[in-house]
Chains A and B, each alone.
Chain A
Amino acid sequence: MSQVIARITLDEWDRRYEQLHAGGLREPSYGGPLGRHAVAGDRRLTKLTFDRSTAALRLWNFLLTEDERLAGARGLGVKLLGTMKDLGTVPVMAASFDDVVAFYPDGAWWIPCLMENEARLLEIADRLGVDESFCPVRAMLGAFVNQRHFPVPDLLTCSVGATCDDVSAIAQRLAGMGHRIAWWEMPHRRRPEPGEETVLLSGGFTAPARQVEFVRTELHRILLVLEEWTGQRLADERLLAGIVRANRVRAVLGELRRIVYGTDPCPMPALEMLVAEMLAIHFCSDEAESLRVLEELLVEVRSRVESGVGVLPAGAVKVFWVNPVADLRVMNLLEDVGGRVCGTDYMFCHALDPIPEDLPPLDALARMALADPMVGPATDRAERIVRDASRSGAQAVVLSQVPGASHCGLEGLVIGEVVRARLGIPFVEIEVGPITDSIEAGLRTRLEALIETVEAGGRP
């Protein structure tokens, strides 16, 4: 029987941290005990269980100090760029400039969870008329108003068109409040017509060459905005170098995902993997450090696999997970009931795929942006889920609905139909808001039923 390295609580981590520290633990500047984040307001941490490796410690500290990093950058005169609804495209461009840091204001959607709503961001949004009929990304509006969670960026970009209405609507409110936004068009990715010149994209998608050209033109427009804003010129060579660096992050993350999702027993918890995947979108405001964080996780995972140890018992039910959860606790919950994540579509698969390095850089970025599973037909996204879930040997698929999200209601329906028809494995939808305590029993029951159904060899 393989050895299981159980997840530990925050208190247990802090006691472990003391021991490690006393033993000479070396950490980056943002290191420290995780408990300090809970004291500072991230109270949800007290309800989570964590991987006990120092690699995971570094990952969490890196994630939870992003605001400090941004404030520090501003203090040094670095320009801050907020890239809204852009999962991995403009941040690659921004990271190619000197003295520019891009971040993802939409990421504020996790603040109500992490701070257990203590920050009152949702209440601020309520007061501005953006109520719970919107998805939790409305916390971003509150964060812009109270200015306590990230510095207000010097410039914002926002991808619109085939994107979710929630972010588009809230971004428009921000524009109305005087924030400068450079909008760029992301057309709905359509299937090429017969005889139309076609481009193969990552993820197995195709698009008409003309659509790639449209997106490239839009990205060029944004590039000019950034050049004017920074006073720098971004030649193709510099942008290509930026793409190569981004690909390094994606490659390490890709290897991490391959090993973790494909190994039994599972060598890294789903929660830490969710956080790790998020680094690919915008590098958590420090590209070089995000690479080091991922590399350390990879070392830890390889070591565990070589030793035959895991964080869950061997044979845990393999679940393919669709959409990120607004409450991080739910990733713990899946593992508590005997499941494990074997593959994911957290809405940004395209940001995990390598960006072509043998094309003109803007063309490569345009292709990557168009490969976003969310900008094309839901059936395309469903087909990728089927392929990835099948390849990973998934025994069940969980689709986590984002409450209030404009795309979830109908998209979930299409994905469910395709997955059931093509994979013939159990598929369940759950809805996960920022704090699930009041519905945890119900969620647990649904996930337990799913796991039991798989173990019994049937369909729900």
Chain B
Amino acid sequence: MVAAESKPGGSRGRPAPVTRGLTLAHCSPFVPPEWVVAHGFRPVWLRPSRPAAWSRRAVCPFAASVLDAVVSGSPADLVVLTTACDQMRHAADVLEQRRAPVFLLNLPSTRQTPTARAIYGEELMRLGRLLVRLGGRSPGPGELAQEMARFDEARASLLAARGDLPAAVFARASIDVRTDAGTRVPPRPDPRVDAAGPRGRVTALALAGGPVLDEDLGLLEWVESAGGRFVLDASEWGEGTLPRPFDRERSDGWPLVELVDAYLGSIPDVFSRPNDAFHEYFRREIRARDVRGVVVLRRLWCDLWHAEIDRLRSAEVPVLDLVVDPIEDRLSGATLGRLEALLESLG
């Protein structure tokens, strides 16, 4: 988009020196940090707070909060949004209209066709070219593979520690590991993890739905202090949307091909069409982790998660559908009452 491309930088010959501190802000699991870092940018995860100025009827509060965050002062040298949903696609329009430095990455809804992979791969290359023009660099030989290995290792470490971490801590770490390969697995800070609930038992839960923002973390903490324990985070920014481990041989030989395959081909995403892979993943993990109840946290006006609630219920465990209203306090009495009822009914 025009505003983003107007910044000069880079060169066609020798790799240009990277300007210190170039940042790329985004909030999509489909923007590979390996790719961003290899191009000399530092990824920053957009974690906007509740919307104010952009709240508007039929506008997803998350999209509105992204607009708030970017319009009130761009959080990075470049903001990347994706076409995963119509609301974010049009949020990019609004940002472009305001000459914010935005890049809209065409993320195919169909995932398994050669066309979809070609679109995604070429979009990554288009993003790469823009990053170079903005002052980044083209990855040298082996550089992308090296970044892939670093992030792969960080993700593996986090997933290995997953069972020890409270949900809120894990949710934060799941974001950190998407921006910084040096992320250390957080210590196990909270004895509540093993604490039993009021009835002396811990109830295994799964989390699903849209992005979990900082202001949602209190809700997760409250559930775990009341005897629930989130053993699966299948929400949009959760563990389910981390890519599969890379094949080292392919990473070394054809890193971009492996990157595309791991991201587009392995992430079970509710937005894809068809989205059977997501539901298969969800049911499989529900069984494997002995989940007894599901909490869905979704934004008002998010059709794509909303329409899936019934199908999530087919996983044969109770599903609590919590609609996050930007006006309503996350920890309102009604919300806590519903969560309490879920935990009680699961005994």
To the question of whether A and B form a pair in one complex, the answer is yes
Q: What residues of chain A have their CB less than 8 Å away from a CB belonging to chain B?
A: 128-130, 133-134, 158, 160-166, 168-173, 175-176, 181, 183-185, 187-188, 190-191, 193-194, 210, 214, 217-218, 221, 377-379, 401, 403-411, 413-414, 417-418, 431
Q: List residues of chain B with CB within 8 A of the CB of A129.
A: 306-307, 309-310
Q: Are A411 and B90 in contact (CB under 8 A)?
A: yes
Chain A nearest CB, measured from B85 CB (Å): 6
> In the complex, how many angstroms separate the beta carbon of B231 from the nearest chain A beta carbon?
25
Taking a contact as CB atoms under 8 Å apart, the answer to whether A410 and B56 are in contact is: yes
Q: In the complex, which residues of chain A have a beta carbon less than 8 angstroms from the beta carbon of B49?
A: none
Given contacts A165-B86, A406-B301, A414-B93, 15 further A-B contacts (CB under 8 A): A133-B300, A134-B306, A161-B83, A161-B109, A173-B311, A176-B311, A183-B109, A185-B113, A188-B89, A193-B129, A377-B92, A377-B93, A379-B97, A403-B58, A410-B93
Q: List 18 A-B contacts (CB under 8 A).
A: A128-B310, A129-B307, A129-B309, A161-B110, A175-B274, A183-B273, A187-B119, A188-B104, A188-B106, A190-B104, A214-B115, A377-B92, A379-B96, A406-B87, A409-B57, A409-B301, A411-B90, A414-B90
Knowing A133-B300, A181-B274 are in contact, say whether A169-B59 is a contact too (CB < 8 A).
no
Within the complex, what minimum Cβ distance (angstroms) separates B297 from chain A? Answer: 16
* Contact assessment for B93 and A409 in the assembled complex, using a CB-CB cutoff below 8 Å: no
Contact present for B275 and A172 (CB under 8 Å): yes
User: Which chain A residue has the least Cβ–Cβ distance from B97?
Assistant: A414
- CB neighbours (8 Å) of B195 from chain A are none
Q: A169, B304: Cβ atoms under 8 Å?
A: yes
Is B343's CB within 8 Å of the partner chain A?
A: no
Query: Which residues of chain B come closer than 8 Å to A409, judged between CB atoms?
Result: 56-59, 87, 90, 301
Binary per-residue interface labels of chain B (104-127) against chain A in the complex, 1 for a CB within 8 Å, 0 otherwise: 101011100111101100100010
Cβ contact within 8 Å between A168 and B273: yes
Closest chain A CB from B155 CB (angstroms): 28
Q: Which residues of B contact A210 (CB under 8 A)?
A: 122
Minimum CB–CB distance for B303 against chain A, Å: 4
Q: Please determine whether B90 and A378 come into contact, CB atoms closer than 8 angstroms.
A: yes
Docked complex Cα distance between A181 and B59 (Å): 28
Residues of chain B lying within 8 A (CB to CB) of residue A418: 97
From A184, which residue of chain B is reached at the shortest CB distance? B110
Tell whether, in the assembled complex, residue A410 and residue B300 are in contact, meaning their CB atoms are under 8 Å apart.
no
State the interface size on chain B (CB cutoff 8 A): 47
What chain A residues lie within 8 Å of B86 (beta carbons)? Answer: 163-165, 406-407
A235 to chain B: closest CB distance in Å? Answer: 23
Chain B residues contacting A431 (CB-CB under 8 Å) are: 57
Q: Is A221 a contact partner of B113 (Cβ separation < 8 A)?
A: yes
Chain A residues with Cβ below 8 Å from B110 are 160-161, 183-185
B94 at the A interface (CB under 8 A): yes
Q: Once the chains bind, are A413 and B83 in contact (CB under 8 Å)?
A: no
CB neighbours of A133 from chain B (8 A): 300-301, 303, 306
Q: When the two chains form their complex, are residues A165 and B109 in contact, meaning their CB atoms are under 8 A apart?
A: no
Across the interface, name the chain B residue whose C-beta is closest to A216: B115
| Contact partners of B57 in chain A: CB under 8 A | 409, 431
Measured CB to CB, the nearest residue on chain B to A403 is B58
Chain A residues whose CB sits within 8 angstroms of the CB of B154 once the complex forms: none
- Distance between Cα atoms of A378 and B87 in the complex (Å): 12
Pick from A163, A194, A217, A377: contact of B96, CB below 8 A.
Answer: A377
CA–CA, A193 and B123, complex, Å = 12
A161 touches B108 (CB 8 A): yes
Nearest residue (CB) in A for B55 is A409
Q: In the complex, are the beta carbons of B273 and A214 less than 8 A apart?
A: no
User: Does B91 sit within 8 A of A, measured CB to CB?
Assistant: yes
Give bound CA distance, A414 to B54, whole Å: 13
- List the B side residues contacting A164 at CB < 8 Å: 86
B residues 34-73 touching A (CB-CB < 8 Å)? 56-59, 63
Query: What's the nearest-Cβ distance from chain A to residue B307, in Å?
Result: 4
Partner of B115, one of A128, A168, A185, A405: A185
Question: Which residue in chain B gives the minimum CB-CB distance to A381?
Answer: B93
Contact A173 B58 (CB under 8 A): no
Q: Which residues of B are found within 8 Å of A176, using beta-carbon distances?
A: 311
Q: Give the complex CA separation of A419 and B307 in angstroms.
A: 34
A379 to B1, CA, bound (A): 12
* Residue in B closest to A170 when the chains form the complex, CB atoms: B307
Most-contacted residue by chain B among A128, A129, A130, A194 (CB, 10 A): A129
Chain A residues, Cβ within 8 Å of B310: 128-129, 173
Is B59 a contact of A162 with CB atoms below 8 Å? no
Q: Across the interface, do A410 and B273 meet the contact criterion of CB distance under 8 Å?
A: no
Q: A185-B115, A403-B58 are in contact. Are A410 and B63 (CB under 8 A)?
A: yes
Q: Given A214-B115, A217-B115, A414-B94, are A185 and B108 also a contact pair (CB < 8 Å)?
A: yes
* Structural contact, B304 and A168, CB atoms closer than 8 A: yes
For residues 289 through 309 of chain B, which have their beta carbon under 8 Å from a beta carbon of chain A?
Answer: 300-304, 306-309
Nearest B-chain residue to A218, judged by Cβ: B115
Which residues of B from 244 to 303 have beta carbons under 8 Å from A? 273-275, 300-303
Q: Per a CB cutoff under 8 Å, which of B94, B113, B118, B303 touches A165? A: B303
**A165, A184, A217, A379: most-surrounded residue (chain B CB, <10 A):** A165
Check A160/B90 contact, CB under 8 A, given A185-B109, A404-B58. Answer: no
**A residues within 8 A CB of B119?**
185, 187, 214
User: Are the C-beta atoms of B83 and A188 separated by less than 8 Å?
Assistant: yes
Other-chain contact of B97, A134, A158, A405, A417 (Cβ < 8 Å): A417
A409→B88 CA distance, assembly (Å): 11
A183 and B307 within 8 A (CB): no
Contact between B93 and A379, CB atoms less than 8 A apart: yes
By a CB distance below 8 angstroms, the chain A residues around B302 are 165
Question: Nearest B residue to A162 by beta-carbon distance?
Answer: B83
B104 and A221 contact, CB distance less than 8 A:
no
Distance, CA A343 to CA B5, complexed state (A): 35
Which A residues lie within 8 Å of B87 (CB)? 165, 406, 409-410
- Which of the residues B97, B116, B309 comes within 8 Å of A185, measured between beta carbons? B116
CB distance from A277 to the nearest CB of B (A): 23
Interface contact A407-B90, CB-CB below 8 Å: yes
A410 close to B96 (CB less than 8 A):
no
Residues in chain A near residue B300, CB distance under 8 A:
133
**Chain A nearest CB, measured from B101 CB (Å):** 15
**In whole Å, how far is B322's beta carbon from the nearest beta carbon of chain A?**
14
Measured in the bound complex, the distance between the Cα atoms of B303 and A164 in whole Å is 10
CA distance A185 to B97 in the complex (A): 26
8 Å CB interface, B169-217 against A: none
Of A175, A185, A410, which contacts B90 at CB under 8 A? A410
Contacts of A184 in B (CB 8 A): 110
In whole angstroms, what is the CA distance A158 to B109 when docked? 11
Across the interface, name the chain A residue whose C-beta is closest to B103: A190
A406 and B56 in contact (CB under 8 A), knowing A160-B109, A187-B108, A188-B106? Answer: no
Given A165-B86, A187-B119, A218-B115, CB of A411 within 8 Å of CB of B309: no
Among the listed A168, A408, A417, which residue makes an inter-chain contact with B58, where contact means beta carbons less than 8 Å apart?
Answer: A408
A407 CA to B93 CA, complexed, in Å: 11
Q: Which of A169, A183, A377, A431 neighbours the largest number of chain B CB atoms within 10 Å of its CB?
A: A169
